[in-house]
Amino acid sequence: MAAYDFIFEWLGLQDWCDAGGTGDSGPVSMADLLAKGGKGEEPSIWNLPFPSLNTLSDSCGRIAQSSDVTQAVEDGFLGIKDSLQIVLDPITQPLSWMLRNALALFEVTPWFIMIPLLLAVVYVASKSFKLVGFVAACFGFLALIDHYDPAMQTLAIIFVCAFLCVLLGVPIGIAMSRSDTMRRLTIPVLDMLQTLPPFVYLIPLIFLFSVTEPKLYGVAIILYAIVPVIRLTDLGIRLVDKEVIEAADSFGMTNRQKLFGVQIPLALPNIMAGVNQTIMMSLAMVVIASLVSAPGLGVLVLRGIRNLELGVGLISGLGIVLLAIILDRVTKAALDRVNAASAAQNNS
């Protein structure tokens, strides 16, 4: 006897339920077999299970099971997959082109050219010889242990994806700051993107894009990492002092002039903080994206897990930590310079 048979008998629906089947198309447990044989315990209030779909389906075959719900979701997605591919393929194809070319550039450029160029970028961003020396030591260590090429692949992916996150995220954040309706519509989407586990991003993308296409992991990284720069751009512009905006209005500034001449410069520290978080989240997602053919240090981590190679996993993980420290220190140094410039401008 199923747990909720008494409800359908009391409602007079037992014949209707029996006409729909028994609902036992799935695997049958030993407890169910004993219950059907008359040897199971009678259900009591104390051990009454929650009325889930599977439990109710045991009593009424017309009620769908949980597997029917998941199958319906899968069928619905597969039904619109072709239409989504027609729309998304042309839009995301430039991402594949950018990732391929960035990877080729970082791989083809000799180390004695690439490392000085990166150190020059570090110096321009930070104006700190100590940081330049630290970055040079990190790259030297990665090259010494033959992790230079995977590290460059990881950096290439981060540069492309972080650039696109900023390129797309800052305008979205500006639009949110200028329209409460836009903000109300965007916040739930950002909350969903920020709370979904990283692996969930990969599931629908695997069905939409070929595993050989770089845009598969590129889209996943962008969706995962774009949230901070959007949120902090919106927050930074909204935190601009209203008195400053009133002063700009008194000078007859247009909305465009206020945005680029007042709001964005004052919100730049918050925007840079969002860029920092976006870069760090891009690095975190690059490691996970190695499951879907993303090159770089994440592949070595995955190899260490699959083959139980402890040394490979730990050393490649150390390389990822070094890259994370480099990116964090450089972006924070750039942020400190922006804050100092902003403070000097406010004092003047």
**What pLDDT does 31 receive?**
52
**What pLDDT does 242 receive?**
87
Joined together, the tokens standing for residue 138 give 């990190």
Joined together, the tokens standing for residue 305 give 């897990």
Residue 12, CA distances (Å) to 16, 89, 295 in order: 8, 54, 62
* Beta-carbon count within 10 A of 54 CB: 16
C-alpha 154: how far from its chain's center? 16
DSSP readout, 246-276? Answer: HHHHHTT--HHHHIIIIIHHHHHHHHHHHHH
Residue 29, CA distances (Å) to 18, 25, 37, 40 in order: 20, 12, 13, 12
Half-sphere exposure of 74 (CA within 13 A, CB side): 7
User: Domain 71-347 belongs to what topology?
Assistant: MetI-like fold (1.10.3720)
Instruction: Please state, in angstroms and rounded to a whole number, the distance separating the CA atoms of residues 172 and 260.
Output: 15
Instruction: Please state, in angstroms and rounded to a whole number, the distance separating the CA atoms of residues 266 and 339.
Output: 9
pLDDT tens, position by position, for the chain (348 residues)? 577 777 777 777 777 787 765 444 445 555 555 555 544 455 567 777 888 888 888 878 788 888 888 899 889 988 888 888 888 888 999 999 999 999 999 999 999 999 999 999 999 988 889 999 999 999 999 999 999 999 999 999 999 999 999 999 999 999 999 999 999 999 999 999 988 888 888 888 888 888 888 999 999 999 999 999 999 999 999 998 888 888 888 888 888 888 888 899 889 989 999 999 999 999 989 888 888 888 999 999 999 988 989 999 999 999 999 999 999 999 989 888 877 776 766 665
**What pLDDT does 276 receive?**
92
- What's the pTM value of the predicted model, to 2 decimals? 0.83
**What pLDDT does 24 receive?**
47
SS3 category, 213: coil
Query: Which residues belong to CATH 1.10.3720.10 in the chain?
Result: 71-347
For residue 295, report the phi and psi dihedrals to the nearest 5 degrees.
-75, 170
Q: Is residue 62 within 8 Å of residue 21, measured between CB atoms?
A: yes
Place of tokens 């305008």: 171
**What pLDDT does 40 receive?**
47
Sign of torsion, CA 70 72 76 78? positive
Q: Is residue 157 within 8 Å of residue 103, measured between CB atoms?
A: yes
Instruction: Please state, in angstroms and rounded to a whole number, the distance separating the CA atoms of residues 38 and 22.
Output: 17
Instruction: Please state, in angstroms and rounded to a whole number, the distance separating the CA atoms of residues 102 and 159.
Output: 8
User: Which of 113, 104, 204 has its CA nearest to residue 153?
Assistant: 104
